[in-house]
Amino acid sequence: MRKYVSEFIGTFVLVLFACGTAAVTGCTSAADAAYILTALSFGLVIVAMAYSIGHVSGCHINPAVSFGMLLSGRLSAKDFIGYVAAQFLGAIAGAAVLYWLIGGEMGLGQNGLFQGDAFKSVIIEVILTFVFVLTILGVTSREASARKAGLVIGLTLTLVHILGIYFTGTSVNPARSFGPALILSLIGKPDALSVVWVFIVAPLMGGALAAAVWQSLDAKPEALKA
C-alpha cells in the first residue's frame, strides 16, 4: 500500500504543478517562455519525486512507464494494477485541486490532437513515449546508475516536452491526460475527453515498444554486460 500511496502522491504533484504551470502561464504551441517553463516543470517534478518517493515505488507516476516495467518483468501484474489505479486517482485529484484553484477558463493543461489528426497524434505520442520509457528502462537497469536516474529521467521528460508541446501538448502519460480531461468534461467542456483515448492508447503503445526494444538490446551474455 505504501507504494500505491507514493504513486498517488507523485501523480497528484505532477498534474497539479506541471499541468498547473501550463495553465497559469498560458502555454501554447508557440515557442516562448511559457513553453519552456512548462517543459521544465514536468521534468523538475520528476526529479523532485524521484528523490523523494523513488525508493518506495520507483516513482513511475505514469501508466506507460508501469506498463513498460510490467512487460520487462520488473513489475508484477498485481502491482501494475495497483500502480495504475493510484496514478489515475492521483491525476484526477490533482486536476480537481487545480480546477478549484484557477477554474476552467485557462484550461487544465489538457492535451489536444495535432492538426485535428488522431493518426498523426498517435504516431507522435508513440515516438515521444518510446524515447522516454526506453531511457527509464536503460538508466534503471544498472545499480551504478541509480543515483543519477532521477536527474536523467527528469531531463528526458523535459526533452520530450520541448519537442512534443508543439504537436499535442505532450502526454506520454495516460493518467496525466485523463485527469484534466475528466474534470473539464464534468464542467461542460467535453472536447478534451472525446480525444483522450489517443493519449491513453499511444503512450501504452510507446511503452510496450520501448520494453520490446530494450529487451532485445539487453539480450546479451552476462559476462559482456557493463
Q: Which tens digit of pLDDT belongs to each residue from 81-98?
A: 999 999 999 999 999 999
* Helix (H) / strand (E) containing 220: none
User: Which amino acid makes up residue 150?
Assistant: G
Look up residue 53 and give its three cell numbers.
Answer: 518517493
pLDDT at 225 over 60: no
Q: Give the count of alpha carbons within 13 A of 73, CB side only.
A: 4
Domains and CATH numbers, the chain: 2-220 (1.20.1080.10)
pLDDT at 147 over 80: no
> What are the C-alpha distances in Å from 202 to residues 118, 124, 158, 162?
10, 8, 19, 18
Query: For the chain, what percent of residues have pLDDT higher than 70?
Result: 96
For the chain, counts of helices (H) and of strands (E): 10, 0
CA–CA gap between residue 170 and residue 205 (Å, rounded): 15
3-state helix, strand and coil shares in percent for the chain, rounded to the nearest 5: 75, 0, 25
